[in-house]
Structures are given as C-alpha cells and as structure tokens.
C-alpha cells in the first residue's frame, strides 16, 4: 500500500524560476538532492520609473534552461511534475492564443501612480478586508489600468490579462490554464472569498472577460503537451502545478512552513515571509498575506532597502576585502541602506525616504560596515513591525538570498536580531517550486518539504554582541522617527521591544 505522506523515491521534480535577471530550472529528487540545474540570462529595459521585459524572452530562456537541465539527467522520464515561480506584480496583455500584445510591466514598474489612487478609492473596503489596506503603485492592478488606458491592444475583444508565469504555463500545457492565487494577489484577487471583486472592477472599467480563472497554489493545472516537450525536453504528460511568487517559493525552499516561522531573503532588497494561522491585517498597509498550504496564511513584506546598496555605494569593489576590513573596524556607525528610488515600502511606507548615515564611519571600511549594520537594523525593525500588528514572529527563522554568502554579515544579522538562524543547504526559489511540484503525487507540502529541504547550519547569536547592538538599533529607530518616517506608536513599540530584550538577557 502506498504511503500518502511519502514521495515516490524514483521521481524527479522540476522547479522553474523567472527572476529579474535570469530564468532557471532545477531538477530535484524526492530526497532533496539537486541533480541538475541550468539558467539563462534575461534582459530588461528601464526608462525612468518604467521597467519592462520582452515576454517572449521568458519562454525562450526558460525553455533553453529546461533543455539543458533535463538533458543532464540519467533518465528524463523520471520527471513527474513541475511548478513555476515568478516576480510578484509583473503583468502583460496577450491574445487568447497567448501571444503577447504588450511588453511585460515588471514588479517595480512605477508608472501607475494616478491609477493607484483610483484603485485605492474604488477598492478601499476590499483591500482593508484583505489586510493590506491599499495597493502600492507598483502592484499589478494599477498597472493593468495603465495598460487599459494607454495600450491600443487593450481594446481588442480577445485581450487577456496574464501574470508573468501564465505565459509559460499556457505554453507548457498548450492551452489556457488558470492563474495561481499567489500571483493574482496584486491584481486584486479576493483571497478570502476566492473571486475577482466584480463591483469594484466594474467601477474601475476592468472588463470581466480580461481576467483569468484562478486556483490555489499546488493545484494541478494540466500536463506538458507534445509541442512543449519538444521545446523544453520535459517529458510529455508531466504534471504542471500552480506555483507561487518568488518570495513564497523561497519560503518553501527554506522549509519555513510551521506557524510562526519566517524566512528572510536578502538580495538587492530585503523580503520577509512568514506563516500565520490567521489572516494578518495591517493598518499601515505595508504587510500583505498570501494563502499558504492548508489553512495557513503567509504574511510578508518587501523592503526598499537591502544589499543592493553595496553595489551602488561601492561599485566594482572587492566585497570580501571590505567585509574583512569592516569587521576589523567594528564601528557603531549605522547607515540607512535604502536602495529603491521609489522610497521605502517595508517596514514603513515613505515615498520620500532618503538614505542617511549616523555616526562617523572610519574610512571606506567603516562606511561599508555601517551599511551591513543598517540592513540588520532594518531587518530587526521589520520584526518589530510584524510583532506590532499581531503577526506571530517567535518561530524558527531562516536566512536565504545572495547575501548569505557573506558569513560575517550572517552573524551580524543574527546578533542584531538576538535570535538563532538557520541557513538551509539548498534554499532558493526554484527548489521551493520543486517541493511544490512534488505535491502532485498527493503528498502534503509540509511533508514534501520535510523530505526534500535540508536544514543546513545554525548561527547562534552572541549575547554580548546583541547587547552592544541594541542601543545602536534604538538610535536608528530614533533617527527614523525624528525624520517623520515612523508612526509614533510603531517607534514606541520598537523601543519597548528592544528594552524588553535587554532586560531579559
């Protein structure tokens, strides 16, 4: 008799990832071993606050990556399922055959400020019910309105909204398949009632026929068709599983699925995703929830700050050398590491936020260290905010993202947070999608993650260093509050939490 909680031992699962700079495919077996991986570059076009990609690139690049990865397997016929993640809020319009009618408007495209005001006026009640209160201008629904108002192709009766992964899943299946609710969130999909909010969309002038059907992540959308099999090397008949956005995919890849668990992804910007037994509603509108496996919710937020500040402030520098030099300097100076030209998004919203430096860093190494410390302080402030709005934050914590290649920074972040951290062995979005693909065998996602995700190493905070950094963090909070960037109640909560932490040591 087949064990419903055990994965088929001979199966291989594909995780596909569409990022900003590359398309990636990984092949993972049921024990979590990465058997093959391949990627292809993607290019973007930026013009002021506009950021576009050619959607055809998504298919050609991902198909090439899949061909390389599957050709490296000893037996490609072992592939049983696949799932795909992509950037959150990236959309386009296509015709009913899946041919793009517009460029892909990327996750951080900021052209739709006027449309965002209309979206938030029309949908205020729904957005509050869903917990995020209002939509940011880079979200998908404001950009959809922009396309409807500025792209002639939007008037075609066969025009359809596609989220970034929808173009790929359609071609894999050879027919139109539903969107997943994770990518549909920023298009205004009602995650509680599981429907499109028709009265609000009518008021905004969004035609009902434009909108795709939507299913929960993990649903089987269909199977790989013969034409797609020839193009990708993926066996015909392979199950296509509805995926999630890249941040949620990384959370699955980190195995962060228990209530109260969090995954902190530090790349160009900082993204936090957690698990809650209930929908977290945020009066400040910077935290939003995806639906998670089973009855759980995945609250999280994406900051405008992160490791991207290092490339901007130290172009072409030897980061390993600067890390070692900064660690030797060990300054208390701290720099606000804002990356986005659109201001801050999480743990507070301030489109007029600007970087600053506190203290007097000693030379280039001291300034570099100040930015490392600044990211750690922003990260702690994110948890201060999550705790402030009632999200569970005391569960296990994992670090993922490119910045985890810096051991000193990992330790610094753990020290500032004052909590132990795990670094999963194979934490990446594509691996998370391989885990989700494995649920097509009938195994729940938490069981699939338990079998496929390797815990990795633990980083324990140094209590003496945590005590040292607490006053620095409080000073950082004060500086943000003095600049009018933090609401007074949030700033008071962050200070109180730091003082309680110091008292309990």
- The CATH number assigned to the domain holding 287 equals 3.30.420.40
pLDDT score of 212 more than 80: yes
Residue 4, pLDDT score: 55
Contact 297, 290 (CB under 8 A): yes
| Shared-domain flag, residues 355 and 486 | yes
**Of 194, 227, 246, which one is at a domain's C-terminal end?**
246
**Of 195, 213, 246, which one is at a domain's C-terminal end?**
246
* Residue 442 falls inside a structural domain: no
293 phi, psi to nearest 5 deg:
-60, 140
List, in sequence order, every residue forming a beta bridge with 276; answer none if it has no partner: 297
| Shared-domain flag, residues 232 and 155 | yes
| Shared-domain flag, residues 292 and 387 | yes
The 3-state DSSP composition of the chain as helix, strand, coil percent (nearest 5) reads 40, 20, 40
Cα dihedral across residues 495, 497, 503, 505: positive or negative: negative
| Shared-domain flag, residues 154 and 267 | no
Number of folded domains that form the chain: 2
Q: What is the mean pLDDT of residues 104-120?
A: 96
Contact 153, 69 (CB under 8 A): no
* Residue 142 falls inside a structural domain: yes
Q: What is the mean pLDDT of residues 388-410?
A: 94
| Shared-domain flag, residues 304 and 408 | yes
End-to-end CA distance of the chain: 52
Residue 5, pLDDT score: 67
| Shared-domain flag, residues 137 and 94 | yes
Which is higher by pLDDT, 418 or 258? 418
| Shared-domain flag, residues 146 and 288 | no
* Residue 251 falls inside a structural domain: no
Instruction: Kindly give the residue spans of alpha helices, DSSP state H, lying in 330-405.
Output: 363-388
For the ranges 89-103, 210-224, 250-264, the lowest mean pLDDT is seen at 250-264
* Residue 429 falls inside a structural domain: no
Question: 272: Cβ–Cβ under 8 A, 6 or more apart, which residues?
Answer: 262, 263, 264, 265, 300, 301, 303, 346, 379, 382, 383, 386
| Shared-domain flag, residues 130 and 58 | yes
Question: 443: Cβ–Cβ under 8 A, 6 or more apart, which residues?
Answer: 4, 5, 6, 7, 451
Residue 425, pLDDT score: 80
pLDDT score of 21 more than 60: yes
| Shared-domain flag, residues 261 and 320 | yes
Quickly count: other Cβ atoms within 10 Å of residue 389's Cβ. 18
| Shared-domain flag, residues 417 and 327 | yes
* Residue 42 falls inside a structural domain: yes
| Shared-domain flag, residues 61 and 126 | yes
Residue 1, pLDDT score: 35
- Computed on alpha carbons and rounded to an integer, the radius of gyration of the chain in Å comes to 22
HEC string of 158-212 equals: CCEEEEHHHHHHHHHHCCCCCEEHHHHHHHCCECCCCECCHHHHHHHCCCHHHCC
| Shared-domain flag, residues 48 and 196 | yes
**Of 246, 280, 302, which one is at a domain's C-terminal end?**
246
Q: Report the predicted TM-score, pTM, of the whole model to 2 decimal places.
A: 0.86
* Residue 286 falls inside a structural domain: yes
* Residue 7 falls inside a structural domain: no
The H or E element spanning position 494 is helix 488-503
Task: Give the range of the structural domain holding residue 318, as residue numbers without chain letter.
Answer: 257-423+462-503
pLDDT score of 408 more than 80: yes
Looking only at the bridges linking them, the beta strands covering 22-29 and 12-18 are antiparallel
Percent over 70 (pLDDT), the chain: 98
List, in sequence order, every residue forming a beta bridge with 14; answer none if it has no partner: 27, 82
């Amino acid at each position: 008799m087949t064990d419903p909680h055990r994965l088929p031992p001979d199966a291989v699962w594909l995780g596909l990832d569409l990022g900003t700079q590359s398309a990636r495919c990984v092949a993972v077996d049921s024990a979590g071993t990465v058997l093959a991986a391949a990627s292809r570059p993607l290019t973007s076009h930026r013009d002021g606050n506009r950021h576009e990609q050619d959607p055809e690139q998504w298919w050609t690049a991902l198909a090439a990556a899949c061909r390389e990865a599957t050709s490296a397997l000893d037996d490609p016929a072992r592939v049983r399922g696949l799932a795909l993640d992509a950037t959150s809020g990236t959309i386009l319009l296509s015709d009913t055959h899946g041919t793009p009618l517009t460029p892909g408007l990327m996750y951080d495209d900021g052209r739709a400020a006027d449309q965002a005001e209309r979206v938030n006026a029309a949908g205020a009640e729904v957005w509050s019910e869903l917990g995020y209160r209002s939509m940011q201008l880079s979200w998908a629904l404001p950009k959809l309105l922009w396309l409807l108002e500025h792209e002639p192709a939007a008037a075609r009766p066969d025009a359809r909204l596609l989220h970034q992964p929808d173009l790929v899943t359609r071609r894999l299946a050879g027919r139109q398949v539903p969107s997943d609710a994770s990518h549909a969130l920023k298009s205004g999909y009602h995650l509680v009632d599981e429907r499109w909010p028709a009265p609000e969309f009518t008021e905004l002038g969004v035609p009902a026929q434009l909108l795709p059907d939507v299913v929960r992540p993990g649903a089987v959308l269909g199977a790989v068709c013969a034409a797609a099999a020839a193009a990708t090397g993926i066996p015909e008949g392979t199950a296509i599983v509805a995926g999630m956005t890249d941040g949620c995919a990384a959370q699955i890849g980190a195995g962060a699925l228990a209530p109260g668990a969090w995954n902190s992804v530090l790349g160009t910007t900082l993204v936090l995703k957690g698990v809650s037994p209930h929908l977290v509603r945020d009066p400040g509108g910077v935290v939003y929830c995806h639906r998670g496996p089973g009855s759980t919710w995945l609250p999280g937020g994406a900051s405008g700050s992160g490791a991207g500040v290092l490339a901007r402030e130290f172009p072409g520098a030897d980061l390993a050398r600067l890390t070692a030099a900064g660690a030797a300097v060990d300054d208390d100076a701290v720099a606000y590491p804002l990356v986005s030209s659109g201001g801050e998004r999480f743990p507070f919203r301030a489109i007029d936020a600007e970087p600053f430096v506190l203290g007097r860093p000693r030379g280039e190494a001291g300034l570099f260290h100040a930015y490392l410390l600044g990211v750690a302080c922003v990260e702690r402030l994110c948890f201060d905010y999550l705790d402030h709005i009632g999200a569970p934050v005391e569960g296990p914590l994992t670090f993922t993202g490119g910045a985890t290649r810096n051991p000193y920074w990992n330790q610094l972040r753990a020290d500032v947070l004052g909590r132990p951290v795990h670094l999963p062995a194979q934490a990446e979005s594509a691996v998370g999608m391989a885990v989700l693909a494995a649920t097509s065998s009938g195994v729940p996602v938490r069981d699939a993650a338990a079998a496929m995700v390797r815990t990795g190493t633990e980083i324990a905070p140094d209590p003496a260093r945590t005590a040292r950094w607490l006053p620095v963090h409080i000073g950082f909070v004060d500086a943000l509050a003095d600049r009018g960037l933090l609401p007074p109640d949030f700033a008071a909560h962050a200070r109180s939490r730091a003082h309680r932490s110091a008292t309990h040591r």
